[in-house]
Structure 1
Amino acid sequence: MSVEKLKSNATTRIEFNRFPRVDLCHQPTPIEEMPRLGALLGGPKLHIKRDDCTGLATGGNKTRKLEFLMGEALREGADMIVTQGAVQSNHVRQSAAAACKLGMKCHVLLERRVPDRDESYEKTGNVFLDKLFGTTFEFRPNGLDMNAEAMAVTEGLRNAGHKPYFIPGGGSNATGALGYANCAQEIVDQSVQSGLHFQWLVMGTGSSGTQAGLVAGFHILGYDLPVMGISVRQPKERQTGAVLATTQKTLAHLGGPDIAPDKILVDDGYVGEGYGIPAPSTLEAIRLTARQEGILLDPVYSAKGMAGLIGLVRSGFFKPEDNVLFLHTGGSTSLFAYEDQISEDLA
């Protein structure tokens, strides 16, 4: 795509000032080339969008969502937030930090979603930081409707005299996804400024809001950048349905046009045994990205996303002349909860 076409696509803007928002995020986050990893794989030019550098509590993709979610919470007069996630949730860590920054309380429900972990799993990594931020929390067994559980706790706190605001897991609703519609506009602006057009964006996809926000944003902006979500948990059909539903709600929230279901792209070939369980390809992605580019990935989301990117390059999915952008969603603090498994791989 020519620079002139890029500039033409950038003339459409999304007006985000009509939504309540607080300033939590270092942005724009940089886009960097990954020349050594690209050369090692012998594929297209690889680039990385450093949303691990958003600033809040070591950064991560949830910070962009929380700008809009916490803005809405303050508008509603909330004095505390309630949310949920897996034990080593990056979303919970960033939500807890956002609450501290705004002088609010944070109560969370942690799902014991990952089986066969030792007791240190619930003490280190993100859990340690949750405690540092003064979060109160309670655990739940695997397999429950965690959003329903958290909503019930929210109602109980309201009846007890608090003013709680409920945030769904991952911050993934139409409000939270605004953060990644905004990121889509940021990527378009960076492309215009650099003259660099990407043919693909690859990312790990879980609770759906990050991928949905990007797809919705690019759709409204008329920017042709397909987003390949590498599922970290669910089979392709379920993940595609979840992302499509959140995309449609986000577009409705923004007043954008409808989108065709075939615009939602998901690859479920890198889930392995399940959520939070690193596959051999996950561990390889952590090692290669660290040793080739000095970049840390997490075992739950970003490394499975990178494993997907590596696998797609090796399979010849991309053209040699393509520029491929990987979205780094952060989460390296959870590396400490997987130290034994990663150390075995390194050995």
Structure 2
Amino acid sequence: MTQDNKLDRFPRAQFMSGPTPLERLDRLSSELGIDLWLKRDDLTGLGFGGNKTRQLEFYLGDALQQGADTILITGAVQSNFVRSAAAAAAKLGMQSVLQLEERVPDMGEEYYSSGNVLLAQILGAEHMSYPEGEDETGADAALHAHADELKAQGRKPYVIHLGLNHPPLGALGYVLGGQELCQQMQDIDAIVVPSGSGATHGGLLTGIALDESDASVFGICVRRNCEEQQARMNTVLQKLADLLDINAAPLQDRIKVLDEALPPGYGKLSGMTHAALNKMARTEGIFLDPVYSAKTFAGLLHLVSAGEIQPGQKVVMLHTGGLPALFGYQNELIDNLS
């Protein structure tokens, strides 16, 4: 069975208008001594773009098949996923309920009012809050409790889960994304992606493997340390392989995660991350977000300096978008300009 046929079994809403650009970063390539390309999934289009658009095609496809009229999802206050879900719901004439978790302590007022928060309000999303940031099971349970209330009102809710106890439908979007990348470029030596929930990382790794690419895929930890993220990726890849009816073991053997850019933690920036964000902007005129893509680029720079990425290798970094969060972090970013 071909990869396309495997994915055809799953309902899909259409949000992607076509492949996203693959752009060579000429100045950084020269400076770093590698052949560096950027896969521009910040340009997926819907609701300020970002990688979650690909994932939402499969979640919302499932929701439509079930006759849902309301989407419920949980994430950090400046979550790109919840903002993208609100945009996708609006496009399909659905209501969205966004549960915002307290994952990032000691943030200023702008973190709670601008960026993704403001955009979700413009999109007409309903909001609820969850006091903990590291309780996926509890956060999902809170969504289901609210979904039960909506059912009692006659609405038809659909929950997009955060925890690992559910099939990773969103990862199917990056199985297609991996295939798309392989169609755009052959002979890739390495791909560098953020690794958080694991859906993007796991889906892309699966997609290129099904396309018979042997590129190394480096997942840059943005939320958990290497040991915890390795365990999570094993689970994500097993559940994704179960969905596709393929063997997970060869995929699990290819997991590479690095946490050098993670400190001081999820949603917090180090000097290493600030430097990476500024370097990309000032060298290539491209903005990165503070939570995911800046840490991804910081991780890539570490891989080059450590010799994990060799001189002359063809390297693709996935730009996952998330640019509205820049405004939620504006005071911290201004304080670290140099």
What is the CA–CA distance in structure 2 between the aligned matches of 1:282 and 1:257, rounded to whole Å?
36
1:52-131 matches, within 5 Å, as 52-131=42-121
Tell me how far 1:173 sits from its aligned partner: 4.3
Is residue 163 of structure 1 aligned with residue 153 of structure 2? no
Which deviates more from structure 2 when the two are superposed, residues 110-119 or residues 96-105? 110-119
* Secondary structure of the structure 2 residue equivalent to 1:266: strand
The AA in structure 2 aligned to 1:175 is: L
Q: 1:168 to 1:101 in 2, by over 3 A?
A: same
What is the CA–CA distance in structure 2 between the aligned matches of 1:169 and 1:297, rounded to whole Å?
24
Partner of 1:229: 219
Q: Is the 8 A contact 1:277 1:300 kept in 2?
A: yes
Partner of 2:180: 186
Tell me how far 1:125 sits from its aligned partner: 0.3
Partner of 1:149: 142
Tell me how far 1:259 sits from its aligned partner: 2.2
Partner of 2:319: 328
Partner of 1:5: none
Is residue 259 of structure 1 aligned with residue 249 of structure 2? yes
Which deviates more from structure 2 when the two are superposed, residues 336-345 or residues 297-306? 336-345
Partner of 1:14: 4
Q: Is the 8 A contact 1:173 1:209 kept in 2?
A: no
Which deviates more from structure 2 when the two are superposed, residues 319-328 or residues 217-226? 217-226
Q: Is the 8 A contact 2:110 2:327 kept in 1?
A: no
Is residue 176 of structure 1 aligned with residue 152 of structure 2? no
Tell me how far 1:219 sits from its aligned partner: 2.5
Q: Is the 8 A contact 1:85 1:170 kept in 2?
A: no
- Per-residue CA deviation, residues 245-297 of structure 1 (Å, 9 max, x unaligned), is 11111122112223243311100111111110011111111100011111111
Partner of 1:202: 192
- Per-residue CA deviation, residues 145-204 of structure 1 (Å, 9 max, x unaligned), is 32232233223322332210010239994211110000111111112xxxx421110011
Tell me how far 1:313 sits from its aligned partner: 1.0
What is the CA–CA distance in structure 2 between the aligned matches of 1:259 and 1:252, rounded to whole Å?
11
- Per-residue CA deviation, residues 40-77 of structure 1 (Å, 9 max, x unaligned), is 23x31111100000001110000001111101000001
What is the CA–CA distance in structure 1 between the aligned matches of 2:195 and 2:83, rounded to whole Å?
18
The AA in structure 1 aligned to 2:28 is: L
The AA in structure 2 aligned to 1:28 is: P
What is the CA–CA distance in structure 2 between the aligned matches of 1:163 and 1:103, rounded to whole Å?
13
What's the TM-score once normalised by structure 1's chain length?
0.91
What is the CA–CA distance in structure 1 between the aligned matches of 2:49 and 2:4, rounded to whole Å?
24
CA root-mean-square deviation: 1.8
The AA in structure 1 aligned to 2:60 is: M
What's the TM-score once normalised by structure 2's chain length?
0.94
Which deviates more from structure 2 when the two are superposed, residues 133-142 or residues 83-92? 133-142
Task: List alignment gaps of at least 5 residues for structure 1.
Answer: 1-10
* Secondary structure of the structure 2 residue equivalent to 1:263: coil
The AA in structure 2 aligned to 1:30 is: P
Tell me how far 1:80 sits from its aligned partner: 0.5
What is the CA–CA distance in structure 2 between the aligned matches of 1:101 and 1:108, rounded to whole Å?
16
* Secondary structure of the structure 1 residue equivalent to 2:248: coil
Q: 1:211 to 1:170 in 2, by over 3 A?
A: farther
Fraction of identical pairs, as percent: 42
Q: Is the 8 A contact 1:44 1:322 kept in 2?
A: yes
* Secondary structure of the structure 2 residue equivalent to 1:69: helix
What is the CA–CA distance in structure 2 between the aligned matches of 1:166 and 1:17, rounded to whole Å?
22
What is the CA–CA distance in structure 2 between the aligned matches of 1:247 and 1:71, rounded to whole Å?
21
